[in-house]
Structure 1
């Protein structure tokens, strides 16, 4: 019987990826990570998460692992992560524009105020079209 934990540990160590960073990415302690490596029946879900973290396709080592689920997990997690980052960036961008409008109002720079308001309306409209 294959020992999934040992195989995953070997791949991680060969990758050069820091175990400390991997544990942090998985939101577990290093000790817990070592304990996981000692598990002969390490779950495919955790194997997938580790693969995503170190950018390694474990379906090559575990052909019995459903490849479609593995690929879907990476795509979905990646898209969700990008969407969250985009949303956060968009919110910060809008706050910055609102601050610029406030500065323009206080300085009574009418043309700047008009341009910023127009730009904000365009962004809001684009945001609703996404």
Structure 2
């Protein structure tokens, strides 16, 4: 496909009246990064997904090739696949899943650390 991703994203942002400064703030990047994205012929899938999430805009019409899933429900570069509206996993739920996994991992690490300290104290 011979489309210019950056120009398409810019067109959507400007057409819908979004502020570049606000988009940059919400995405935790500087304005220059946003303008650099506009100049790129091909954007990374995760950037398109993040912009779509921040703007609450579905880019699947403009970029259907980015929304095809493999057998694991993810694209080749591991970006989450957009699902039907009632199937969409909300950001807080997604964040909570990672937070829960992190806490479990941290608890296991603390158990191992405690065991290691006890073993070293005996010797």
Interval of TM-score (by shorter of Structure 1 and Structure 2):
0.5 to 0.7
Q: Which runs of 5+ in 1 are unaligned?
A: 85-130
Higher helix share: 1
* 1:50-77 CA distance string (max 9 Å, x none): 00111100011011112553326x6252
In 2, distance between residues paired with 1:16 and 1:58?
16
Distance 2:47 2:60 in 1: 13
Q: Aligned equivalents of 2:10 and 2:51: distance in 1?
A: 10
Identify the residue that residue 43 of structure 1 maps to in structure 2: 44
Q: How many residues are paired up?
A: 82
CA distance in 2, matches of 1:52, 1:67: 17
Which residue does the alignment assign to 2:82? 71
Superposed CA offset, 1:16-46 (max 9, x none): 1111010011111101110111111111110
Following superposition, the deviation at residue 78 of structure 1 comes to: 3.9
Deviations 1:69-117, CA, capped at 9 Å, x for gaps: 3326x62524245x59xxxxxxxxxxxxxxxxxxxxxxxxxxxxxxxxx
1:33 is the counterpart of 2:34: yes
Q: How far apart, in 1, do the equivalents of 2:65 and 2:14 lie?
A: 23
Q: 1:39 to 1:27 in 2, by over 3 A?
A: same
Partner of 2:24 in structure 1?
23
Cα distance change of structure 1 residues 67 and 55 upon mapping to structure 2, 3 Å threshold: farther
After superposing the two structures, state which structure 1 stretch, 36-45 or 60-69, moved more.
60-69
2:21 counterpart of 1:10: no
Q: Which runs of 5+ in 2 are unaligned?
A: 70-79, 98-123
